[in-house]
């Protein structure tokens, strides 16, 4: 048999290849009945338009079921969980801000002497250091709330 015989279309003179193709088609068809030996005879499948319509209908069903679930117990539980998650995320952000400022203040305290000695402030290094520390303290979340309230 020639190389690639299953890829080439059968010719009238190539009887062995044609028989082999039919044999292959029969063997494959036994395991996969939807496969046919001649693709021209195959029935048309689902079109893209049909697939799109089906996908649209599925999305509409999901949205409709979600709207119905909002009034249900499950919908209320999901809403409560999302609200709790949002609250925890806000608290985590505040905690991270506070920890960041705490680290900066501890570094400022460790290097206070260097900061004061290398200051170019006319009022003196202590004044500049105190101003920088005060600004950091004002950036703390609870100090911001205190100023707003």
- 2-58 per-position pLDDT tens digit: 667 566 666 666 666 566 666 666 666 566 666 666 667 766 777 888 888 999 999
Summarised one tens digit per residue, pLDDT across range 76-108 is 888 889 999 999 999 999 899 999 999 999 998
User: Would you tell me how many other CB atoms lie within 10 Å of the CB of residue 129?
Assistant: 19
Question: Higher model confidence: residue 62 or residue 133?
Answer: 133
Q: In this predicted structure, what is the pLDDT of residue 83?
A: 92
- DSSP-derived secondary structure for 84-125: HHHHHHHHHHHHHHHHHHHHHHHHHHHTHHHHHHT---TT-H
With left for phi above 0 and alpha for psi between -120 and 50, is residue 44 left, alpha or beta? beta
- Which pLDDT band, with edges at 50, 70 and 90, does 64 fall under? confident
Q: In this predicted structure, what is the pLDDT of residue 32?
A: 62
Q: In this predicted structure, what is the pLDDT of residue 63?
A: 77
What are the residue boundaries of the structural domains of the chain, listed by start?
Answer: 15-45, 46-148
Q: In this predicted structure, what is the pLDDT of residue 88?
A: 95
Q: In this predicted structure, what is the pLDDT of residue 146?
A: 83
Q: In this predicted structure, what is the pLDDT of residue 85?
A: 94
- Report whether 8 contacts 17 (CB < 8 A): yes
């Amino acid at each position: 048999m020639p190389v690639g015989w299953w890829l080439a279309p059968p010719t009238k003179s190539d009887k062995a290849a044609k028989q082999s193709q039919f044999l292959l088609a029969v063997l494959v068809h036994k395991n996969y009945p939807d496969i046919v030996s001649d693709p021209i005879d195959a029935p048309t499948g689902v079109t893209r338009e049909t697939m799109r319509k089906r996908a649209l209908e599925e999305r509409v069903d999901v949205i409709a079921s979600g709207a119905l679930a909002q009034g249900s117990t499950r919908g209320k539980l999901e809403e409560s969980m999302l609200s709790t998650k949002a609250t925890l995320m806000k608290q985590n952000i505040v905690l991270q801000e506070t920890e960041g400022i705490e680290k900066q203040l501890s570094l400022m305290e460790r290097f206070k002497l260097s900061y004061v000695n290398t200051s170019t402030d006319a009022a003196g290094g202590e004044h500049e250091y105190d101003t920088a520390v005060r600004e950091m303290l004002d950036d703390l979340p609870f100090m911001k709330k205190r100023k707003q309230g």
